């Protein structure tokens, strides 16, 4: 019942060139030169139940219902507590940010009310992103906004006399055209551009984050040139090239944002061995309360091997320059804006888009009723997710790890899953081969080999180590109850489409986006750790055990079928259908869809951007006090 034939050899067997390096690392480890770290993911892991029967002989309550109930209560409190009047919104602003709102706040509030905007007070993301720039004068801000636009892959959205243009000031050898991200930003501001003063917005044309400032330079500004009047190269300490060219890499830049005493700043901790990539112990029953966007690489530097964006070929900017990007990972200082993929409509990124009639439908033509959806976890995508600087680390990038795990044919690699006993009184755990589990639960494949030359062994090795399938239309996802959502080179541009559907997104990400304060894991989607290992137990709670698990548990005497005429009969899937789990899963699907209709609309993106523009206008002013709202 295996999905694929067993392949000759394994990935690690083909990597003989790394054996010596591994041995050297191991020697260092034995002498205590690597900082030990037993955990393998974000610190917000909150619920676990050991499968060691001596510790938990009879699990009677599953942690997922508790996570859902707590999340629903928290989200309800947040929505109910939003300001309903301008006076209340001003008071809440002063309470949160210890300053007056920006000039034009009253017009923004009226704009938001007209749009039936819900999260009137939830803009901590804007405050967090702009806070570092308060240390610079308005004149310096204006100068830096233009200067950074001369760097490769950064465009300027320029407002003059209430009209907007998009320009490329750089010397980018690839193209002098402006990016789709900059054009999308321009479209998002059209409804309120006339209400703004003259401004410049440097827009990142790349999916990767760009601004990474060392810890010392943020703590002690005198270490960095503060007056940019002599030009960007003077501030950066020399000419800026678009790629690393072997001089350094993104991880080296990011680890320098950490405190000097942190493990990431210690030489051997920051290059910890690959043994940490396969954490020991049984962590399959750990669940996150939120996403891994706060994954602390300063404390857990070994985890950087698993995140492809830290191997991007594109050079980061090591000084405090303003760059507007659609997402940011921990350590980056980019300013978040809504993605042009979310605001626009395309067949590849938009739920319900009709490319023939050029209209958006509430129900996608390929949508499937809940009861007819396949009870599997579905994912399709390209083998993107990271660059090649330094080379050789692609096998551990986030997408590669997920595809290998979810399509593995291994009969020796086992997973322990926990599910409700057919009597409904307690939970039982059984261990089964990953090959059988994937056959029952997963439908995962790469559809395109991106930059295969960066993979050790090239295209041949990439295809041998991973399952590849045909490309599918976006609507194919709606045939499944579960849709996995993974980061690519940056954020996932399809997340809004997944939320709009009647399926449930299982989202693993290290990024925060503009809406992060507005959405609630376990209410609108299911959060997944960066190791992915708990995904099988997520499935087992909501959908019940797969067929192979039932057979194994019965063989092991963990469960018993119903009796007829004094003898035990075999168990079937029907005996394990967790009605409560399916109802709760459908509740998340319904919650995500409702969120997209009410808080993930184009109007909500415009409200966010309008408020960001007002805050930006104040920062760009010489007299910031005069740019405050005092009504």
Q: Is the pLDDT of residue 4 over 80?
A: no
Q: What is the mean pLDDT of residues 204-232?
A: 93
**What values do phi and psi take at 461, rounded to 5?**
-70, -40
Minimum mean pLDDT range among 136-140, 222-226, 236-240, 490-494: 222-226
pLDDT for position 573: 62
Q: What percent of the chain has pLDDT over 70?
A: 85
Q: CA 185, CA 196: separation in Å to the nearest integer?
A: 15
Average pLDDT over residues 332-359: 96
DSSP code string of 89-157 = HHHHHHHHHSSPPBTTHHHHHHHHHHTT-S-TT--HHHHHHHGGGGGS-HHHHHHHHHHHTTSTTEEEE
How confident is the model over 579-592, as pLDDT tens digits?
Answer: 899 999 999 999 99
The pLDDT of residue 435 = 96
- The whole-number pLDDT of residue 570 equals 62
CA 584 – CA 62 distance, rounded (Å): 13
C-alpha triplet 215, 337, 89: angle, nearest 5°: 95
524 contacts 591 by C-beta, under 8 angstroms: yes
- The answer to whether the beta carbons of residues 295 and 510 sit under 8 Å apart is yes
Give the model's pLDDT for residue 141. 98
Which phi and psi (to 5°) does residue 539 adopt? -60, -45
Give 570-618 as a 3 state SS string.
CCCHHHHCCHHHHHHHHHHHHHHHHHHHHCCCHHHHHHHHHHHHHHHHH
Give the tokens for residue 123. 């803009």
pLDDT of residue 425: 83
In the chain, where the domains are located? 63-71+359-600, 124-271+307-337
Confidence of residue 27 (pLDDT cuts 50, 70, 90): very low
Whether residue 390 has a cis bond before it, omega within 30° of 0: yes
Q: What is the mean pLDDT of residues 365-387?
A: 96
pLDDT for position 177: 74
Question: Is residue 2's pLDDT more than 90?
Answer: no
More confident site: 21 or 570: 570
Q: Are 431 and 282 in contact, with CB atoms under 8 Å apart?
A: no
Tokens 């593995």 map to which residue? 408
Give pLDDT, residue 79: 98
Is residue 293 predicted with pLDDT exceeding 80?
A: yes
User: What is the pTM (predicted TM-score) of this model?
Assistant: 0.89
Angle formed by the axes of helices 547-555 and 434-441, to 10°?
140
pLDDT tens digits, 38-59: 334 433 333 334 344 434 447 8
Label residue 23 by pLDDT band (50, 70, 90).
Answer: very low
The pLDDT of residue 212 is above 90: yes
Burial of 541 per CB tally in 10 Å (0-12, 13-18, 19+): buried
**Is residue 35 a contact partner of residue 272, using CB atoms and an 8 Å limit?**
yes
Q: How high is the pLDDT of residue 22? A: 38
Q: What is the reported pLDDT for 569?
A: 53
Q: At residue 14, does pLDDT exceed 80?
A: no
pLDDT score of 274 more than 60: no
Longest dimension (CA), the chain: 92
Query: Is 330 in contact with 294 (CB distance < 8 Å)?
Result: yes
Q: How many CB atoms lie within 10 A of CB 230?
A: 9
Phi-psi region of 282 (alpha: psi -120 to 50; beta: other; left: phi over 0): beta
pLDDT for 16 beyond 60? no
| Nearest residue to 540 via CA among 530, 524, 553 | 553
The structure tokens listed for 80 are 């109910």
Strand order in the sheet with 480-486: 442-448, 374-382, 480-486, 504-508, 526-527
Residue 162: helix, strand or coil by DSSP? coil
pLDDT band at 478 (very low <50, low <70, confident <90, very high): very high
How much is the pLDDT for 564?
A: 56
Scanning the structure block, which residue is given the tokens 């490309």?
Answer: 471
Which tokens sit at 3?
């999905």
Q: Residue range 302-330: average pLDDT?
A: 96
- Lowest-pLDDT choice from 221-225, 238-242, 266-270, 482-486: 266-270
Lowest mean pLDDT, pick from 76-80, 114-118, 283-287: 283-287
Give pLDDT, residue 516: 97
**Over the stretch 520-556, which tens digit does the pLDDT of each residue have?**
999 999 999 999 999 999 999 999 998 888 888 888 8
Task: Tell which residue, 542, 392, 381, 396, has the closest CA to residue 40.
Answer: 396
Lowest mean pLDDT among 100-109, 157-166, 575-584: 575-584
Nearest to 402 by CA among 536, 581, 274: 536
Which is it for strands 328-329 and 511-512: parallel, antiparallel or unpaired? Answer: antiparallel
Match 């969120």 to its residue by tokens.
Answer: 595
Task: Report the pLDDT value the prediction gives residue 156, as an integer from 0 to 100.
Answer: 97
27 or 611, higher pLDDT? 611
DSSP string, 526-581: EE--SS-TTHHHHHHHHH---HHHHHHHHHTTS----EETTEEPPP-GGGG--HHH
* Burial annotation 485-516 (CB, 10 A radius, 16+ → b, else e): bbbbbbbbbbbbbbbbbbbbbbbbbbbbbbbb
């Amino acid at each position: 019942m295996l999905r694929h034939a067993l392949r000759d050899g394994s990935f690690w067997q083909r990597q003989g060139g790394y054996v010596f390096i591994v041995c050297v690392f191991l020697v260092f480890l034995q002498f205590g030169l690597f900082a030990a770290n037993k955990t393998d993911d974000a610190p917000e892991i909150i619920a676990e139940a050991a499968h060691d029967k001596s510790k938990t002989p009879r699990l009677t309550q599953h942690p997922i219902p508790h996570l859902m109930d707590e999340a629903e209560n928290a989200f309800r409190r947040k929505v109910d507590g939003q300001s309903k009047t301008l006076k209340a919104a001003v008071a809440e602003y002063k309470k949160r940010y210890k300053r007056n709102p920006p000039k034009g706040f009253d017009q923004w509030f009226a704009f938001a009310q007209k749009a039936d905007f819900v999260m009137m007070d939830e803009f901590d993301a804007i405050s967090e992103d702009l806070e570092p720039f308060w240390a610079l004068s308005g004149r310096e801000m204006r100068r830096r906004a233009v200067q950074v636009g001369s760097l490769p892959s950064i465009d300027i959205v320029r407002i003059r006399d209430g009209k907007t243009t998009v320009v490329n000031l750089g010397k980018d050898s690839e193209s002098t055209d402006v990016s789709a991200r900059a054009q999308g930003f321009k479209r998002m501001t059209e409804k309120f551009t006339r209400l703004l003063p003259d401004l410049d917005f440097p827009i990142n044309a790349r999916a990767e984050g760009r601004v990474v400032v060392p810890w010392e330079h943020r703590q002690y500004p005198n270490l960095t040139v503060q007056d940019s009047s002599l030009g960007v190269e003077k501030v950066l300490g020399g000419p800026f090239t678009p790629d690393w060219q072997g001089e350094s890499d993104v991880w080296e830049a990011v680890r320098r944002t950490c405190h000097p005493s942190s493990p990431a700043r210690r030489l051997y901790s920051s290059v910890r061995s690959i043994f940490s990539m396969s954490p020991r112990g049984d962590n399959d029953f750990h669940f996150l309360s939120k996403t891994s966007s706060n994954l602390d690489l300063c404390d857990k530097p070994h985890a950087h091997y698993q995140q492809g964006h830290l191997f991007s070929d594109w050079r980061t900017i090591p000084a405090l320059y303003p760059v507007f990007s659609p997402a940011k990972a921990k350590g980056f200082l980019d300013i978040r804006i809504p993605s042009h993929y979310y605001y626009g409509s395309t067949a590849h990124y938009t739920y319900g888009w009709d490319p023939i009639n050029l209209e958006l439908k509430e129900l996608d033509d390929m949508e499937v009723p809940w009861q007819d959806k396949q009870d599997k976890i579905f994912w399709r995508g390209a083998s993107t997710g990271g660059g090649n600087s330094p080379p050789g680390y692609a096998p551990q990038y986030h997408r590669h790890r997920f595809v290998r795990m979810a399509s593995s044919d291994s009969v020796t690699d086992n997973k322990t899953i926990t599910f409700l006993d057919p009597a409904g009184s307690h939970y039982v755990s059984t261990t089964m081969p990953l090959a059988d589990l994937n056959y029952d639960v997963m439908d995962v494949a790469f559809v395109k080999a991106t930059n295969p030359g960066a993979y050790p062994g090239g295209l041949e090795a990439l295809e041998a180590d991973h399952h590849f399938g045909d490309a599918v239309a976006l609507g194919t996802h709606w045939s499944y109850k579960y849709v996995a959502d993974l980061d690519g080179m940056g954020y996932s541009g399809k997340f809004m489409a997944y939320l709009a559907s009647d399926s449930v997104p299982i989202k693993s990400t290290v990024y925060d986006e503009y809406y992060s304060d507005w959405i609630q894991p376990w209410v609108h989607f299911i959060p997944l750790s960066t190791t992915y290992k708990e995904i099988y137990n997520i499935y087992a709670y909501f959908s019940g055990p797969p067929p192979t698990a039932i057979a194994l548990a019965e063989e092991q005497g963990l469960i018993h079928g119903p009796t007829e005429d004094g003898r035990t009969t075999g168990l079937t899937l029907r005996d394990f259908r967790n009605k409560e789990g399916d109802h709760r899963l459908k509740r998340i699907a319904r919650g995500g869809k409702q969120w997209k209709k009410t808080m993930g609309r184009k109007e909500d993106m415009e409200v966010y951007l309008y408020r960001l523009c007002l805050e930006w206008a104040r920062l760009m002013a010489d007299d910031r006090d005069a740019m405050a709202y005092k009504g």
